[in-house]
Amino acid sequence: MPKPQPPSVSPSAFPTIHDCFSTGRDNHTVVADMDGTLLCGRSSFPYFALVAFEVGGILRLLFLLLASPLAGILYYFISESAGIRVLIFSTFVGMRVADIESVARAVLPKFYSSDLHQETWRVFSACGRRCVLTANPRVMVEGFLKEYLGVDMVLGTEIGSYKGRATGLVVGPGFLVGTNKAEALRKAFSDAPDIGIGDRKTDFPFMRLCKEAYIVPPKPEAEPVPYNKLPKPIVFHDGRLVQKLTPLAALLTLLWIPIGFVLACLRIAAGSLLPMPLVYYAFWALGVRVTVKGTPPPPPQKSIGRTGNLFVCSHRTLLDPIFLSTALGRPIPAVTYSLSRLSEIISPIKTVRLSRDRTTDANMIKKLLEQGDLAICPEGTTCREPFLLRFSALFAELTDELVPVAMSNKMSMFHGTTARGWKGMDPFYFFMNPSPAYEVTFLNKLPRELTCGSGKSSHDVANYIQRTIAATLSYECTRFTRKDKYKALAGNDGSVVEKPRLAASKVMGC
């Protein structure tokens, strides 16, 4: 390969990515930068902020925010590598490497996928062999690039570690910027790659080593790849933050957290202490929007010997049964699998833990239905995206009084679920949103001819209800289970630690 040239070339020396043909590239090799090239955003701060908050909490995010002005000054007036060095140190120093890898696997892909550059992806995805050169730490980006974009090789900045914790310092050849990118490319490839794609002067040296080179202009601003056209659907993701954090958004989040926590305590107290008929109005007064659709069935008449209704709900947060009770104006007991002791204490409704023993759980649910109505979420765990997980069929065998309920919610700042963190904080994070919203849609009670009482199998009944709720919410049915979620996000199924891959083939149409 030729020696790298100094970055003294103007952007006009390269054609734009719009001029690159993407047909017939199956045997070609493409090399691309990440920020501003493969991604629409040119700043890596939002992703460092995500790692800082999800691993280190509000104090680490505050430290990163205070260091960001210095990073910006160094970036624009000294060098790109100097600015990124400050971001890396303030984000990673002292963190457990395992925690960084966990966030990179469970949190960052959702945000990276939502920022995928349409034009760059058009060319990048057409090539048979794909490589990414980036100044970002490899530990942050490699999981997303290989798992979701099919990248064969990731050349990124390496950070040091000591006894399992990151030092925040760079090791090896240093930052992959400027001529360092070109040197890394020369070592990785014996022949010149077919296509090089970049967006700034520090990318020119490696671009000049490629047979074809294209620049991604900053203007006009590019649109990301639409959600429904992503190369791999993001079914599961973790983390508390709903939006990426710009420096301004990070500052506002830090200022809001103490206010939001007090507000969350007020909202939780209102839901726990007030009579259930008043909770609906108290929530509205405190900024929690509850929308009720459909006509719920009346309470069971014990005088004629009928068992209670089993409300079969889609599962968005652990608060689903509470908002179901709010919509009905009366407390509805719920069966749960993994609920923190704190959540049980503050819950305004009765919660009964499932044992995961089929016979024991069946007998318990039957007894509860004899006492009145009951709520169950047969997915077994929550899902944030517009997907429904596989419905466990046990509930369909126990009663024919089945009422499907479509639950959906909206959060603008914090997610009210977690797979990696402490579940006891889930209700607090949900209620810390400025104006969280829940929509409860009651569907028609299942006709007897569609229940097990008429000879239908429990799996047919469960699948039918899953499809009915999915159609109501415009969601997609999947065969994923609780174990699939925890394997994807936490690297285990709750007992055995492993790092499996999420099979996209489990997504099916409704």
State the total domains in the chain: 2
287 shares a domain with 170:
no
Angle formed by the axes of helices 80-92 and 57-77, to 10°? 170
Give every strand in the sheet of 29-32, ordered side by side: 165-171, 153-162, 129-137, 29-32, 195-198, 212-215
Beta strands in 345-401 (DSSP E): 351-353, 374-376, 387-388
Q: pLDDT tens digits for 242-293?
A: 999 999 999 999 999 999 999 999 999 999 999 999 999 999 999 999 999 9
Q: Which two tokens stand for residue 456?
A: 């239908």
Question: Per the domain annotation, does 6 fall within a domain?
Answer: no
225 shares a domain with 92:
yes
* 12-26, 94-108, 289-303: range with highest mean pLDDT: 94-108
Question: Per the domain annotation, does 171 fall within a domain?
Answer: yes
Domain CATH number, residue 301? 3.40.1130
pLDDT band at 497 (very low <50, low <70, confident <90, very high): very low
Question: Per the domain annotation, does 234 fall within a domain?
Answer: no
335 shares a domain with 201:
no
pLDDT band at 305 (very low <50, low <70, confident <90, very high): low
Cα distances (angstroms) measured from residue 122 to each of 42, 126, 223, 496? 19, 6, 12, 39
Q: Please say if the pLDDT value at position 168 is more than 80.
A: yes
Return the minimum-mean-pLDDT range out of 4-8, 149-153, 405-409.
Answer: 4-8
318 shares a domain with 467:
yes
Q: Which whole number is the average pLDDT over 84-99?
A: 93
Q: Please say if the pLDDT value at position 106 is more than 80.
A: yes
Q: Which whole number is the average pLDDT over 67-88?
A: 86
431 shares a domain with 286:
yes
pLDDT of residue 504: 47
Q: Please say if the pLDDT value at position 88 is more than 90.
A: yes
Who wins on pLDDT, 361 or 411?
Answer: 411
Q: Which whole number is the average pLDDT over 201-206?
A: 88
pLDDT of residue 403: 96
pLDDT of residue 178: 61
Q: Give φ, ψ of 391 to 5 degrees.
A: -85, 125
pTM for the complete prediction?
A: 0.88
Question: Per the domain annotation, does 250 fall within a domain?
Answer: no
309 shares a domain with 189:
no
Q: Please say if the pLDDT value at position 92 is more than 50.
A: yes
Q: Please say if the pLDDT value at position 385 is more than 80.
A: yes
Q: Please say if the pLDDT value at position 496 is more than 70.
A: no
Peptide bond into 220 cis (omega under 30): yes
Complete DSSP assignment for 270-311? HHHHS-HHHHHHHHHHTT-EEEEES-PPPPP-GGGTPPPPEE
**Residues linked to residue 2 through DSSP beta bridges, in sequence order:** none
Question: Residue 411's domain spans which residues?
Answer: 274-506
Q: pLDDT tens digits for 340-352?
A: 888 888 889 999 9
65 shares a domain with 213:
yes
